[in-house]
Chain A
């Protein structure tokens, strides 16, 4: 079924809708196994909607294939159980539950042993260990970002979509998040990173897509994008 040439995730001519408004106008992209791919663009161009459509959380038409299997129309929990993780932009921490309980909720099947344990997470982010019994709602923004990343990884996904993980964080924490993403890739997990800022995207990703008005307007390597100032000016910089 899956060989090296089958992409981990393949999106073809994807149209997405919020009620009557048509948000995605035929998105095409793919992520290969073991790749970090960046989806860039300004706010409101449909990057988060693309991730939600993959997750089965918005009404969509077209094709979404995961490891060659058609997943469009499946329920969100079924998609998650196939091995897709989503780290949402708003972090969506469970505010009344403790850090440890939040992490436990990431586990899909308590009997299975995945790539990650709570101790792994605490070793990567010692700050979370200190906060073990603290309700998620009182954590700082940076701590919540670490928690939501770790919570999704606890579900042992093979492919994870991470929506603006560095937004509003101090440079030191951004660096920590970057190291974490490298660690994630080292364990063989493919990443679709949604970003607005170029810095981390150019640094970390192998390929990138630039999105504008609900479709992909540029596709290439970080070097290609660096060289193409016109595209950057039109679709990215303000």
Chain B
């Protein structure tokens, strides 16, 4: 009971963080038709910017400024890079974002070095929020949840309650028609790319100190975010939300489960031959591979994802 409650809270916290990344990625994909391979690099930039700013003036200014900076970098990348690559088709765009991911990683190496930097949770958020039975739930996890839910509500309100949100929604499916009606679609593209990368940056700001801020963090989270977008269905915000929470929970639950494959089969009444290496593996050991197994299963049984609209 206690285990389930705490793991669920952790899973939701992690899932919401993942949604901040996957929502931007999926918005960019539906609008421009490109998978931004560098998306997680903006997550990493968010963490490093926040680390740098917090070392100068503290965590709170960084929380605000770092995502805006990342968004500005993202908008500039769209305006001066992607828009040019766009003329040469989707393959050029894909290769551009692919290369960008490497460039960002190397720049991070050059400026901040190859080892993890000391980006810490601020003292006022360091501590226990509440204790459930014997397990404590840290304040910072609650803070992450608060920020994520706040962003979620703000994003939803922006998309459904404002004029620019209406234009974005329409441009998601029919950018040419929207432009013919007199709306500056190239600028909308830039704003969505900037907004999406700013969200990724914010996830980096609040995730970088909860986990580790190091040059490998983009690659580590990047592949998971792609799994989420595929599982949820390319281009579906609702699907990305469900898949984010699902993957968040799968990962936290499986990491915390120390039972082995033999035990799982035993629960089902099947006894596996003793002495097999595979049968002795614990769920914890399998945790990293579970999201990818889920992705493969989805691709086999429901290729358009949980809530995806397009087949391709």
Contacts and interface: CB of A to CB of B under 8 A. Distances in A.
Interface of A: 55, 57, 75-77, 80-81, 86, 88, 92, 94-97, 101, 104-106, 108, 110, 151-152, 155
Contact of B166 (A57, A81, A92, A104): A104
A110 B174 contact: no
Given A80-B181, A105-B170, A155-B182, 19 more contacts: A57-B180, A76-B179, A76-B180, A77-B180, A77-B184, A80-B179, A80-B180, A86-B180, A92-B176, A94-B169, A94-B174, A97-B166, A105-B166, A105-B167, A106-B181, A108-B181, A108-B182, A110-B163, A155-B181
B186 A92 contact: no
A97 B185 CA distance: 18
A94 B170 contact: yes
B173 interface: yes
B170 A75 contact: no
B177 interface: yes
A55 B170 contact: no
Query: Interface size for chain B: under 10, 10 to 19, 20 to 34, or 35 or more residues?
Result: 10 to 19
Complex A-B, nearest 4 residue pairs according to Cβ-Cβ distance, in ascending order? A80-B182, A108-B182, A92-B177, A76-B179
B166 A75 contact: no
Interface in B140-181: 163, 166-167, 169-170, 173-174, 176-181
B164 to A, nearest CB: 11
Interface string B181-193: 1111110000000
Contact of B183 (A77, A94, A95, A96): A77
A116 to B, nearest CB: 14
Contacts of A110: 163
A155 B183 CA distance: 10
Nearest to A82: B182
Which of A80, A81, A155 has the most C-beta atoms of chain B within 10 angstroms of its own C-beta?
A80
A105 B173 CA distance: 14
A94 B173 CA distance: 8
Interface of B: 163, 166-167, 169-170, 173-174, 176-186
B163 A96 contact: no
Contacts of B182: 77, 80-81, 108, 155
B181 A151 contact: yes
B180 A97 contact: no
A151 B180 CA distance: 11
24 contacts: A57-B180, A75-B179, A77-B182, A77-B185, A80-B179, A80-B181, A80-B182, A81-B182, A86-B180, A92-B177, A94-B169, A94-B173, A94-B174, A95-B173, A96-B169, A97-B169, A97-B170, A101-B166, A105-B166, A105-B178, A105-B181, A105-B183, A106-B181, A155-B182
Nearest to B163: A110
Contacts of A106: 181
Contacts of B180: 55, 57, 76-77, 80, 86, 88
Contacts of A101: 166
Nearest to B173: A94
Nearest to A157: B182
A163 B184 CA distance: 23
Contact of B177 (A81, A88, A104): A88
A99 B270 CA distance: 58
Contacts of B166: 97, 101, 104-105
